[in-house]
Amino acid sequence: MISATVFLTFILMLTIFLGFELINKVPATLHTPLMSGANAISGITLVGALSLAGTGRHDLANWMSVAAVALATINVVGGYLVTDRMLAMFRKKGS
Amino acid sequence: MDSLIQYSYIVAAALFIFGLKQLGSPATARRGNGLSAIAMLLAVVAGLLDQGIVEYQWILLGVVVGTVIGAAAARLVQMTAMPEMVALFNGFGGLASLLVGWAALAPGSATFTLVTIILSILIGGVTFTGSMIAYGKLSERIGSGAVLFSGQQVVNSLIVLGILAGSVMFCLQPANHFWLYLVVALSLVFGVMAVIPIGGADMPVVISLLNSYSGLAACAAGFAVNNNILIVAGALVGASGIILTQIMCKAMNRSLANVLFSGFGSGKVEQTAVEGEIKPISAEDAYYILEAASNVAIIPGYGMAVAQAQHVVKELAEMLERNGCEVNFGIHPVAGRMPGHMNVLLAEADVPYEQLLEMDDINPRMENVDVAIVIGANDVVNPAARENEGSPIYGMPVINVDKARTVFVLKRSMASGFAGIENPLFYKDNTRMLFGDAKESIGNLVREFSV
Protein backbone atom coordinates (compact mmCIF):
# COMPACT_ATOMS: atom_id res chain seq x y z
CA MET A 1 0.00 0.00 0.00
CA ILE A 2 1.43 3.34 -1.05
CA SER A 3 0.88 6.01 1.56
CA ALA A 4 -1.10 9.21 0.94
CA THR A 5 2.07 11.19 1.58
CA VAL A 6 3.73 9.68 -1.47
CA PHE A 7 0.74 10.54 -3.62
CA LEU A 8 0.68 14.10 -2.36
CA THR A 9 4.40 14.51 -2.99
CA PHE A 10 3.89 13.11 -6.48
CA ILE A 11 1.18 15.68 -7.13
CA LEU A 12 3.47 18.40 -5.82
CA MET A 13 6.28 17.42 -8.18
CA LEU A 14 4.03 17.34 -11.24
CA THR A 15 2.38 20.64 -10.32
CA ILE A 16 5.69 22.46 -9.99
CA PHE A 17 6.71 21.36 -13.49
CA LEU A 18 3.29 22.34 -14.79
CA GLY A 19 3.63 25.76 -13.13
CA PHE A 20 6.97 26.38 -14.83
CA GLU A 21 5.52 25.47 -18.22
CA LEU A 22 2.42 27.61 -17.73
CA ILE A 23 4.20 30.80 -16.78
CA ASN A 24 7.28 30.57 -18.95
CA LYS A 25 5.99 32.46 -21.97
CA VAL A 26 4.04 35.29 -20.40
CA PRO A 27 4.81 38.67 -22.05
CA ALA A 28 6.32 41.39 -19.86
CA THR A 29 3.16 43.50 -20.23
CA LEU A 30 1.31 41.01 -18.07
CA HIS A 31 3.92 40.52 -15.36
CA THR A 32 2.12 42.62 -12.76
CA PRO A 33 -1.36 41.13 -13.28
CA LEU A 34 0.17 37.68 -13.39
CA MET A 35 1.92 38.30 -10.11
CA SER A 36 -1.10 39.73 -8.36
CA GLY A 37 -3.36 37.04 -9.85
CA ALA A 38 -0.99 34.35 -8.62
CA ASN A 39 -0.89 36.14 -5.30
CA ALA A 40 -4.67 35.82 -5.05
CA ILE A 41 -4.37 32.08 -5.72
CA SER A 42 -1.91 31.75 -2.84
CA GLY A 43 -4.83 32.76 -0.63
CA ILE A 44 -5.99 29.16 -1.19
CA THR A 45 -4.72 28.59 2.32
CA LEU A 46 -8.19 29.92 3.19
CA VAL A 47 -9.62 26.49 2.36
CA GLY A 48 -7.25 24.92 4.87
CA ALA A 49 -8.22 27.48 7.49
CA LEU A 50 -11.98 26.86 7.07
CA SER A 51 -12.10 23.37 8.54
CA LEU A 52 -9.88 24.39 11.46
CA ALA A 53 -12.00 27.46 12.20
CA GLY A 54 -15.28 25.60 12.65
CA THR A 55 -14.30 22.87 15.06
CA GLY A 56 -16.52 24.24 17.81
CA ARG A 57 -13.66 23.96 20.30
CA HIS A 58 -13.03 27.50 21.39
CA ASP A 59 -9.33 27.07 21.93
CA LEU A 60 -6.29 28.95 20.67
CA ALA A 61 -6.10 26.86 17.48
CA ASN A 62 -9.67 27.78 16.67
CA TRP A 63 -9.11 31.51 17.09
CA MET A 64 -5.90 31.41 15.11
CA SER A 65 -7.80 29.71 12.30
CA VAL A 66 -10.53 32.35 12.39
CA ALA A 67 -7.81 34.99 12.07
CA ALA A 68 -6.32 32.96 9.21
CA VAL A 69 -9.72 32.89 7.48
CA ALA A 70 -9.94 36.69 7.66
CA LEU A 71 -6.36 37.26 6.49
CA ALA A 72 -6.57 34.74 3.65
CA THR A 73 -9.90 36.24 2.54
CA ILE A 74 -8.29 39.68 2.32
CA ASN A 75 -5.60 38.09 0.16
CA VAL A 76 -8.13 36.31 -2.07
CA VAL A 77 -10.76 39.01 -2.48
CA GLY A 78 -8.31 41.90 -2.67
CA GLY A 79 -6.00 40.01 -5.01
CA TYR A 80 -8.68 39.04 -7.54
CA LEU A 81 -10.37 42.43 -7.56
CA VAL A 82 -7.17 44.39 -7.95
CA THR A 83 -6.03 42.08 -10.76
CA ASP A 84 -9.35 42.50 -12.51
CA ARG A 85 -9.12 46.26 -12.12
CA MET A 86 -5.70 46.26 -13.74
CA LEU A 87 -6.67 43.93 -16.57
CA ALA A 88 -9.71 46.02 -17.37
CA MET A 89 -7.32 48.84 -18.26
CA PHE A 90 -5.29 46.86 -20.76
CA ARG A 91 -6.68 47.55 -24.17
CA LYS A 92 -5.82 46.97 -27.78
CA LYS A 93 -5.21 49.82 -30.14
CA GLY A 94 -8.45 51.29 -31.43
CA SER A 95 -10.73 49.48 -29.00
CA MET B 1 -19.71 13.84 0.93
CA ASP B 2 -15.97 13.50 1.17
CA SER B 3 -15.62 12.32 -2.41
CA LEU B 4 -17.82 15.20 -3.57
CA ILE B 5 -15.38 17.56 -1.89
CA GLN B 6 -12.41 15.82 -3.49
CA TYR B 7 -13.94 15.89 -6.98
CA SER B 8 -14.75 19.57 -6.55
CA TYR B 9 -11.08 20.14 -5.74
CA ILE B 10 -10.11 18.40 -8.97
CA VAL B 11 -12.39 20.69 -10.97
CA ALA B 12 -11.04 23.70 -9.07
CA ALA B 13 -7.46 22.65 -9.83
CA ALA B 14 -8.28 22.34 -13.54
CA LEU B 15 -9.86 25.81 -13.49
CA PHE B 16 -6.80 27.29 -11.74
CA ILE B 17 -4.54 25.81 -14.39
CA PHE B 18 -6.74 27.01 -17.23
CA GLY B 19 -7.05 30.44 -15.63
CA LEU B 20 -3.29 30.81 -15.28
CA LYS B 21 -2.83 29.75 -18.88
CA GLN B 22 -5.25 32.43 -20.04
CA LEU B 23 -3.47 35.02 -17.89
CA GLY B 24 -0.56 34.58 -20.28
CA SER B 25 -2.08 36.51 -23.16
CA PRO B 26 -3.43 40.08 -23.03
CA ALA B 27 -6.57 39.20 -24.99
CA THR B 28 -7.70 36.47 -22.58
CA ALA B 29 -6.08 37.58 -19.33
CA ARG B 30 -9.17 39.09 -17.77
CA ARG B 31 -11.22 35.95 -18.42
CA GLY B 32 -8.35 33.87 -17.02
CA ASN B 33 -8.40 35.82 -13.78
CA GLY B 34 -12.17 35.34 -13.61
CA LEU B 35 -11.81 31.58 -14.11
CA SER B 36 -9.24 31.44 -11.37
CA ALA B 37 -11.62 33.34 -9.06
CA ILE B 38 -14.39 30.84 -9.85
CA ALA B 39 -11.98 28.03 -9.02
CA MET B 40 -11.30 29.69 -5.68
CA LEU B 41 -15.00 30.06 -4.96
CA LEU B 42 -15.61 26.41 -5.82
CA ALA B 43 -12.75 25.29 -3.57
CA VAL B 44 -14.05 27.41 -0.69
CA VAL B 45 -17.62 26.11 -1.03
CA ALA B 46 -16.32 22.53 -1.18
CA GLY B 47 -14.14 23.23 1.84
CA LEU B 48 -17.20 24.41 3.78
CA LEU B 49 -18.81 20.99 3.30
CA ASP B 50 -16.08 19.45 5.44
CA GLN B 51 -17.66 17.34 8.18
CA GLY B 52 -15.16 18.59 10.72
CA ILE B 53 -16.99 21.91 10.66
CA VAL B 54 -19.69 22.05 13.34
CA GLU B 55 -20.24 25.78 13.61
CA TYR B 56 -20.17 28.41 10.92
CA GLN B 57 -20.57 31.75 12.69
CA TRP B 58 -16.86 32.37 13.27
CA ILE B 59 -15.98 31.34 9.73
CA LEU B 60 -18.62 33.70 8.45
CA LEU B 61 -17.25 36.49 10.59
CA GLY B 62 -13.74 35.94 9.24
CA VAL B 63 -14.94 35.82 5.65
CA VAL B 64 -17.03 38.98 6.00
CA VAL B 65 -14.25 40.95 7.68
CA GLY B 66 -11.74 39.76 5.06
CA THR B 67 -14.05 40.50 2.14
CA VAL B 68 -14.83 44.02 3.32
CA ILE B 69 -11.18 44.90 3.91
CA GLY B 70 -9.96 43.21 0.73
CA ALA B 71 -12.61 44.72 -1.51
CA ALA B 72 -12.18 48.20 -0.07
CA ALA B 73 -8.40 48.06 -0.42
CA ALA B 74 -8.62 46.77 -4.00
CA ARG B 75 -11.04 49.50 -4.98
CA LEU B 76 -9.34 52.42 -3.28
CA VAL B 77 -5.71 51.75 -4.11
CA GLN B 78 -4.04 54.09 -6.58
CA MET B 79 -2.42 52.41 -9.56
CA THR B 80 0.91 53.94 -8.59
CA ALA B 81 0.61 52.27 -5.18
CA MET B 82 0.17 48.82 -6.73
CA PRO B 83 3.59 47.41 -5.75
CA GLU B 84 3.04 47.97 -2.04
CA MET B 85 -0.55 46.70 -2.28
CA VAL B 86 0.65 43.43 -3.78
CA ALA B 87 3.28 43.17 -1.05
CA LEU B 88 0.66 43.75 1.64
CA PHE B 89 -1.79 41.13 0.31
CA ASN B 90 1.09 38.74 -0.06
CA GLY B 91 2.07 39.25 3.57
CA PHE B 92 -1.47 38.47 4.74
CA GLY B 93 -1.44 35.24 2.76
CA GLY B 94 1.85 34.29 4.41
CA LEU B 95 0.55 35.03 7.90
CA ALA B 96 -2.58 32.99 7.17
CA SER B 97 -0.43 29.99 6.19
CA LEU B 98 1.61 30.39 9.36
CA LEU B 99 -1.57 30.33 11.46
CA VAL B 100 -3.02 27.36 9.57
CA GLY B 101 0.18 25.37 10.07
CA TRP B 102 0.22 26.25 13.76
CA ALA B 103 -3.48 25.45 14.28
CA ALA B 104 -3.04 22.10 12.53
CA LEU B 105 -0.74 21.00 15.32
CA ALA B 106 -2.50 18.24 17.25
CA PRO B 107 -1.17 15.85 19.90
CA GLY B 108 0.13 12.66 18.34
CA SER B 109 0.84 14.09 14.90
CA ALA B 110 3.10 11.98 12.69
CA THR B 111 6.65 13.21 12.15
CA PHE B 112 5.96 13.99 8.49
CA THR B 113 3.04 16.21 9.53
CA LEU B 114 5.25 17.93 12.10
CA VAL B 115 7.84 18.66 9.41
CA THR B 116 5.22 20.20 7.12
CA ILE B 117 3.77 22.19 10.03
CA ILE B 118 7.13 23.67 10.84
CA LEU B 119 7.72 24.40 7.12
CA SER B 120 4.45 26.27 6.75
CA ILE B 121 5.21 28.26 9.91
CA LEU B 122 8.71 29.04 8.71
CA ILE B 123 7.86 30.00 5.12
CA GLY B 124 4.65 31.75 6.19
CA GLY B 125 6.50 33.76 8.84
CA VAL B 126 9.28 34.83 6.49
CA THR B 127 6.71 35.75 3.84
CA PHE B 128 4.74 37.81 6.34
CA THR B 129 7.46 40.00 7.84
CA GLY B 130 9.43 40.06 4.58
CA SER B 131 6.37 41.38 2.74
CA MET B 132 5.70 43.92 5.49
CA ILE B 133 9.24 45.30 5.16
CA ALA B 134 8.84 45.31 1.36
CA TYR B 135 5.56 47.16 1.86
CA GLY B 136 7.30 49.68 4.11
CA LYS B 137 10.09 50.24 1.61
CA LEU B 138 7.80 50.50 -1.40
CA SER B 139 5.42 52.94 0.26
CA GLU B 140 8.46 54.78 1.67
CA ARG B 141 7.18 54.46 5.19
CA ILE B 142 10.67 53.27 5.95
CA GLY B 143 13.81 54.17 4.01
CA SER B 144 14.00 52.30 0.74
CA GLY B 145 17.78 51.97 0.77
CA ALA B 146 19.67 48.83 1.66
CA VAL B 147 20.31 48.46 5.39
CA LEU B 148 23.68 46.88 6.10
CA PHE B 149 25.58 46.62 9.34
CA SER B 150 28.77 44.90 10.33
CA GLY B 151 28.27 41.37 11.50
CA GLN B 152 25.04 41.04 9.51
CA GLN B 153 26.13 37.74 7.96
CA VAL B 154 26.98 36.39 11.40
CA VAL B 155 23.63 37.42 12.86
CA ASN B 156 21.77 35.92 9.90
CA SER B 157 23.74 32.69 10.13
CA LEU B 158 22.90 32.45 13.82
CA ILE B 159 19.20 32.96 13.05
CA VAL B 160 19.29 30.23 10.40
CA LEU B 161 21.06 27.88 12.78
CA GLY B 162 18.51 28.70 15.48
CA ILE B 163 15.65 27.96 13.09
CA LEU B 164 17.21 24.65 12.03
CA ALA B 165 17.89 23.57 15.61
CA GLY B 166 14.46 24.70 16.79
CA SER B 167 12.75 22.85 13.93
CA VAL B 168 14.59 19.61 14.62
CA MET B 169 13.85 19.84 18.35
CA PHE B 170 10.20 20.63 17.59
CA CYS B 171 9.87 17.48 15.50
CA LEU B 172 11.50 15.43 18.26
CA GLN B 173 9.56 16.99 21.14
CA PRO B 174 6.30 18.37 19.74
CA ALA B 175 4.81 18.60 23.23
CA ASN B 176 7.42 21.14 24.32
CA HIS B 177 6.02 24.39 23.01
CA PHE B 178 9.21 26.32 23.60
CA TRP B 179 10.64 25.04 20.29
CA LEU B 180 7.50 26.01 18.44
CA TYR B 181 7.58 29.56 19.81
CA LEU B 182 11.29 29.79 19.05
CA VAL B 183 10.76 28.88 15.37
CA VAL B 184 7.79 31.25 15.05
CA ALA B 185 9.78 34.13 16.53
CA LEU B 186 12.95 33.43 14.57
CA SER B 187 11.17 33.04 11.24
CA LEU B 188 9.46 36.39 11.78
CA VAL B 189 12.82 37.98 12.58
CA PHE B 190 14.41 36.28 9.59
CA GLY B 191 11.83 37.75 7.21
CA VAL B 192 12.86 41.22 8.38
CA MET B 193 16.56 40.47 8.16
CA ALA B 194 16.20 38.98 4.68
CA VAL B 195 14.57 42.04 3.13
CA ILE B 196 16.26 45.00 4.89
CA PRO B 197 19.56 44.59 3.01
CA ILE B 198 17.77 44.82 -0.34
CA GLY B 199 17.48 48.26 -1.92
CA GLY B 200 14.52 49.85 -3.67
CA ALA B 201 15.56 49.16 -7.26
CA ASP B 202 15.91 45.45 -6.53
CA MET B 203 12.31 45.28 -5.32
CA PRO B 204 10.98 43.61 -8.49
CA VAL B 205 13.07 40.56 -7.61
CA VAL B 206 12.03 40.59 -3.96
CA ILE B 207 8.32 40.93 -4.69
CA SER B 208 8.36 38.03 -7.14
CA LEU B 209 10.31 35.92 -4.70
CA LEU B 210 7.97 36.68 -1.78
CA ASN B 211 5.07 35.87 -4.08
CA SER B 212 6.65 32.51 -4.71
CA TYR B 213 7.13 31.97 -0.96
CA SER B 214 3.49 32.67 -0.18
CA GLY B 215 2.57 29.91 -2.62
CA LEU B 216 5.06 27.52 -1.07
CA ALA B 217 3.74 28.37 2.41
CA ALA B 218 0.21 27.49 1.28
CA CYS B 219 1.59 24.31 -0.24
CA ALA B 220 3.28 23.33 3.03
CA ALA B 221 0.07 24.13 4.92
CA GLY B 222 -1.70 21.82 2.45
CA PHE B 223 0.55 18.96 3.53
CA ALA B 224 -0.04 19.87 7.19
CA VAL B 225 -3.83 19.66 6.87
CA ASN B 226 -3.77 16.97 4.17
CA ASN B 227 -5.50 18.99 1.49
CA ASN B 228 -4.83 18.47 -2.24
CA ILE B 229 -6.07 21.78 -3.50
CA LEU B 230 -3.73 23.73 -1.22
CA ILE B 231 -0.82 21.69 -2.50
CA VAL B 232 -1.71 22.11 -6.17
CA ALA B 233 -2.61 25.82 -6.08
CA GLY B 234 0.29 26.63 -3.74
CA ALA B 235 2.80 24.86 -5.96
CA LEU B 236 1.49 26.64 -9.07
CA VAL B 237 2.04 30.00 -7.38
CA GLY B 238 5.43 28.90 -6.07
CA ALA B 239 6.58 27.90 -9.54
CA SER B 240 5.27 31.04 -11.23
CA GLY B 241 6.96 33.25 -8.65
CA ILE B 242 10.27 31.52 -9.22
CA ILE B 243 10.00 32.03 -12.98
CA LEU B 244 9.30 35.74 -12.56
CA THR B 245 12.21 36.00 -10.12
CA GLN B 246 14.49 34.44 -12.71
CA ILE B 247 13.30 36.82 -15.43
CA MET B 248 13.98 39.80 -13.15
CA CYS B 249 17.45 38.57 -12.19
CA LYS B 250 18.33 37.98 -15.82
CA ALA B 251 17.21 41.51 -16.67
CA MET B 252 19.75 42.81 -14.18
CA ASN B 253 22.45 40.33 -15.16
CA ARG B 254 22.80 39.30 -11.54
CA SER B 255 22.34 36.07 -9.69
CA LEU B 256 19.60 35.68 -7.12
CA ALA B 257 22.24 35.25 -4.42
CA ASN B 258 23.82 38.54 -5.45
CA VAL B 259 20.48 40.37 -5.20
CA LEU B 260 19.63 38.85 -1.83
CA PHE B 261 22.94 39.24 -0.07
CA SER B 262 25.03 41.98 -1.63
CA GLY B 263 23.16 45.10 -0.51
CA PHE B 264 23.67 46.55 -3.99
CA GLY B 265 23.92 50.31 -4.20
CA SER B 266 24.99 50.79 -0.62
CA GLY B 267 28.66 49.94 -1.03
CA LYS B 268 31.18 52.43 -2.21
CA VAL B 269 31.44 52.74 -5.93
CA GLU B 270 34.68 53.71 -7.57
CA GLN B 271 33.86 56.66 -9.73
CA THR B 272 35.37 56.91 -13.13
CA ALA B 273 35.51 60.48 -14.29
CA VAL B 274 33.08 61.03 -17.12
CA GLU B 275 34.14 63.36 -19.87
CA GLY B 276 31.90 65.85 -21.56
CA GLU B 277 29.49 68.40 -20.25
CA ILE B 278 25.87 68.54 -19.29
CA LYS B 279 23.72 70.32 -21.85
CA PRO B 280 20.40 71.53 -20.44
CA ILE B 281 17.55 72.34 -22.80
CA SER B 282 14.41 74.43 -22.35
CA ALA B 283 10.93 73.09 -22.96
CA GLU B 284 10.60 75.44 -25.91
CA ASP B 285 13.73 74.18 -27.66
CA ALA B 286 12.75 70.59 -26.88
CA TYR B 287 9.42 71.25 -28.54
CA TYR B 288 11.08 72.42 -31.78
CA ILE B 289 13.11 69.22 -31.95
CA LEU B 290 10.08 67.04 -31.20
CA GLU B 291 7.96 68.88 -33.69
CA ALA B 292 10.39 67.95 -36.46
CA ALA B 293 10.77 64.33 -35.30
CA SER B 294 9.09 61.48 -37.16
CA ASN B 295 10.02 58.67 -34.77
CA VAL B 296 10.01 59.05 -31.00
CA ALA B 297 10.70 56.45 -28.32
CA ILE B 298 9.66 57.07 -24.72
CA ILE B 299 11.53 55.19 -22.00
CA PRO B 300 9.82 55.47 -18.62
CA GLY B 301 11.28 54.55 -15.24
CA TYR B 302 10.37 54.73 -11.60
CA GLY B 303 10.52 58.55 -11.77
CA MET B 304 7.42 58.52 -13.97
CA ALA B 305 5.53 56.64 -11.25
CA VAL B 306 6.75 59.00 -8.54
CA ALA B 307 5.72 62.07 -10.53
CA GLN B 308 2.40 60.40 -11.50
CA ALA B 309 3.24 61.54 -15.02
CA GLN B 310 1.65 58.65 -16.97
CA HIS B 311 -1.45 60.57 -18.09
CA VAL B 312 0.44 63.61 -19.33
CA VAL B 313 2.91 61.28 -21.05
CA LYS B 314 0.01 59.72 -22.92
CA GLU B 315 -1.15 63.22 -23.90
CA LEU B 316 2.27 64.04 -25.29
CA ALA B 317 2.30 60.75 -27.23
CA GLU B 318 -1.07 61.61 -28.74
CA MET B 319 0.08 65.09 -29.73
CA LEU B 320 3.15 63.62 -31.41
CA GLU B 321 1.07 61.05 -33.28
CA ARG B 322 -1.31 63.72 -34.48
CA ASN B 323 1.77 65.47 -35.77
CA GLY B 324 2.49 62.43 -37.96
CA CYS B 325 5.16 60.98 -35.71
CA GLU B 326 5.54 57.31 -34.77
CA VAL B 327 5.63 56.87 -31.01
CA ASN B 328 6.72 53.76 -29.14
CA PHE B 329 7.42 53.04 -25.52
CA GLY B 330 10.48 51.04 -24.52
CA ILE B 331 9.96 49.13 -21.29
CA HIS B 332 12.90 47.64 -19.42
CA PRO B 333 11.92 44.49 -17.48
CA VAL B 334 13.06 45.96 -14.16
CA ALA B 335 11.92 49.54 -14.71
CA GLY B 336 9.93 50.56 -11.63
CA ARG B 337 9.43 48.67 -8.42
CA MET B 338 7.68 45.49 -9.52
CA PRO B 339 7.62 43.32 -12.64
CA GLY B 340 5.54 45.05 -15.31
CA HIS B 341 5.10 48.23 -13.22
CA MET B 342 5.41 50.63 -16.19
CA ASN B 343 3.00 48.59 -18.30
CA VAL B 344 0.28 48.89 -15.67
CA LEU B 345 0.74 52.64 -15.27
CA LEU B 346 0.64 53.24 -19.02
CA ALA B 347 -2.37 50.95 -19.36
CA GLU B 348 -4.08 53.09 -16.74
CA ALA B 349 -3.37 56.12 -18.92
CA ASP B 350 -4.98 54.29 -21.86
CA VAL B 351 -1.86 53.54 -23.86
CA PRO B 352 -2.59 50.44 -25.98
CA TYR B 353 -0.34 47.54 -25.08
CA GLU B 354 0.88 47.06 -28.66
CA GLN B 355 2.69 50.36 -28.27
CA LEU B 356 4.72 49.09 -25.32
CA LEU B 357 7.83 47.39 -26.66
CA GLU B 358 10.08 45.11 -24.66
CA MET B 359 13.77 45.90 -24.50
CA ASP B 360 14.76 43.36 -27.15
CA ASP B 361 12.23 44.78 -29.58
CA ILE B 362 13.06 48.45 -29.15
CA ASN B 363 16.86 48.20 -29.16
CA PRO B 364 17.23 47.16 -32.82
CA ARG B 365 15.03 50.12 -33.82
CA MET B 366 16.93 52.67 -31.77
CA GLU B 367 19.13 53.84 -34.66
CA ASN B 368 16.04 55.02 -36.53
CA VAL B 369 14.67 56.93 -33.57
CA ASP B 370 14.89 60.70 -33.88
CA VAL B 371 14.25 61.48 -30.25
CA ALA B 372 14.39 59.14 -27.27
CA ILE B 373 12.71 60.64 -24.22
CA VAL B 374 13.90 59.17 -20.94
CA ILE B 375 11.41 59.86 -18.16
CA GLY B 376 12.68 59.20 -14.67
CA ALA B 377 14.79 56.20 -15.68
CA ASN B 378 18.49 56.06 -15.01
CA ASP B 379 20.31 52.78 -14.53
CA VAL B 380 18.22 50.92 -17.15
CA VAL B 381 19.46 53.32 -19.87
CA ASN B 382 23.04 53.64 -18.62
CA PRO B 383 25.47 52.95 -21.51
CA ALA B 384 28.18 52.20 -18.93
CA ALA B 385 26.56 48.77 -18.65
CA ARG B 386 27.79 48.19 -22.21
CA GLU B 387 30.96 50.23 -22.36
CA ASN B 388 32.62 50.43 -18.98
CA GLU B 389 33.92 47.15 -17.63
CA GLY B 390 34.64 48.76 -14.27
CA SER B 391 31.02 49.75 -13.74
CA PRO B 392 29.04 47.81 -11.12
CA ILE B 393 26.26 47.33 -13.63
CA TYR B 394 28.56 46.21 -16.45
CA GLY B 395 26.86 43.44 -18.42
CA MET B 396 23.32 44.37 -17.45
CA PRO B 397 21.15 44.58 -20.56
CA VAL B 398 20.00 48.18 -21.01
CA ILE B 399 17.88 50.14 -23.46
CA ASN B 400 20.36 51.76 -25.83
CA VAL B 401 18.85 55.23 -25.93
CA ASP B 402 22.26 56.75 -26.65
CA LYS B 403 22.02 55.27 -30.15
CA ALA B 404 19.04 57.48 -30.97
CA ARG B 405 19.79 60.71 -32.86
CA THR B 406 18.82 62.87 -29.90
CA VAL B 407 18.12 61.91 -26.29
CA PHE B 408 16.07 63.98 -23.88
CA VAL B 409 16.56 63.04 -20.26
CA LEU B 410 13.91 64.29 -17.85
CA LYS B 411 15.35 64.48 -14.41
CA ARG B 412 14.77 66.37 -11.22
CA SER B 413 18.43 67.08 -10.53
CA MET B 414 21.86 65.72 -11.27
CA ALA B 415 21.79 63.24 -8.38
CA SER B 416 22.90 59.79 -9.51
CA GLY B 417 20.48 56.87 -9.80
CA PHE B 418 19.55 54.39 -7.14
CA ALA B 419 22.72 52.41 -7.57
CA GLY B 420 24.79 55.57 -7.10
CA ILE B 421 26.47 55.04 -10.45
CA GLU B 422 27.49 57.90 -12.72
CA ASN B 423 25.57 57.82 -15.95
CA PRO B 424 27.75 58.76 -18.94
CA LEU B 425 24.55 59.10 -20.98
CA PHE B 426 24.03 62.58 -19.50
CA TYR B 427 27.35 63.75 -20.92
CA LYS B 428 26.97 62.43 -24.46
CA ASP B 429 26.96 64.87 -27.37
CA ASN B 430 23.45 63.91 -28.43
CA THR B 431 21.93 64.17 -24.94
CA ARG B 432 19.93 67.15 -23.68
CA MET B 433 18.80 67.41 -20.08
CA LEU B 434 15.31 68.71 -19.35
CA PHE B 435 15.47 69.46 -15.63
CA GLY B 436 12.43 69.62 -13.40
CA ASP B 437 9.52 67.51 -12.22
CA ALA B 438 8.66 65.02 -14.97
CA LYS B 439 4.97 65.83 -14.89
CA GLU B 440 5.58 69.57 -15.18
CA SER B 441 8.23 69.21 -17.88
CA ILE B 442 5.99 67.09 -20.07
CA GLY B 443 3.06 69.37 -19.30
CA ASN B 444 5.14 72.25 -20.65
CA LEU B 445 5.87 70.30 -23.84
CA VAL B 446 2.20 69.50 -24.28
CA ARG B 447 1.37 73.19 -23.86
CA GLU B 448 3.94 74.11 -26.51
CA PHE B 449 2.19 71.71 -28.87
CA SER B 450 -1.22 73.17 -28.10
CA VAL B 451 -0.37 76.77 -28.94
Say what the pLDDT of residue B22 is.
93
Say what the pLDDT of residue B140 is.
83
SS3 B420: coil
Chain B residue at shortest CA distance from A73: B66
Q: Is residue A52 part of a domain?
A: yes
pLDDT tens digits, B16-69: 999 999 998 888 999 999 999 999 999 999 999 988 888 999 999 999 999 999
Say what the pLDDT of residue B264 is.
54
Say what the pLDDT of residue B399 is.
94
Number of domains in chain A: 1
Interchain contact, B96 vs A87, CB within 8 Å: no
| Dist. CA B212–CA B194, nearest whole Å | 15
| Dist. CA B321–CA B319, nearest whole Å | 5
Chain B residue at shortest CA distance from A8: B228
Range of the domain at A60: 29-89
Domain ranges of chain B: 1-76, 80-267, 283-450
Say what the pLDDT of residue B210 is.
94
Q: Is residue A41 part of a domain?
A: yes
Q: Is residue A17 part of a domain?
A: no
pLDDT tens digits, A57-75: 888 999 999 999 999 999 9
Chain B partners within 8 Å of A43 (Cβ)? 40, 89, 93, 96, 218
pLDDT tens digits, B226-259: 899 999 999 999 999 999 898 888 888 888 888 7
Say what the pLDDT of residue B409 is.
93
Q: What is the mean pLDDT of each run of 10 residues along chain B (451 residues)?
A: 91 95 91 96 94 89 96 91 91 96 90 93 96 91 81 89 95 91 96 88 87 95 92 94 89 82 53 72 91 94 89 94 93 88 91 91 94 91 86 86 93 66 86 90 90 76
| Dist. CA B302–CA B308, nearest whole Å | 10
Q: Is residue A6 part of a domain?
A: no
- Of residues B16, B3, B4, B36, the one with CA closest to residue B231: B16
| Dist. CA B81–CA B79, nearest whole Å | 5
| Dist. CA B39–CA B18, nearest whole Å | 10
> A67 touching B, CB under 8 A?
yes
Q: Is residue A66 part of a domain?
A: yes
B405 and B292 in contact (C-beta within 8 Å)?
no
pTM score of the predicted model: 0.89
| Dist. CA A62–CA A51, nearest whole Å | 10
Q: Is residue A8 part of a domain?
A: no
Interchain contact, A41 vs B90, CB within 8 Å: no
CB pairs under 8 A between A and B: 379
SS3 B51: coil
ipTM over 0.85: yes
Class of domain B283-450: alpha beta
Which one from B285, B350, B361, B379 is the annotated catalytic residue? B379
Say what the pLDDT of residue B222 is.
94
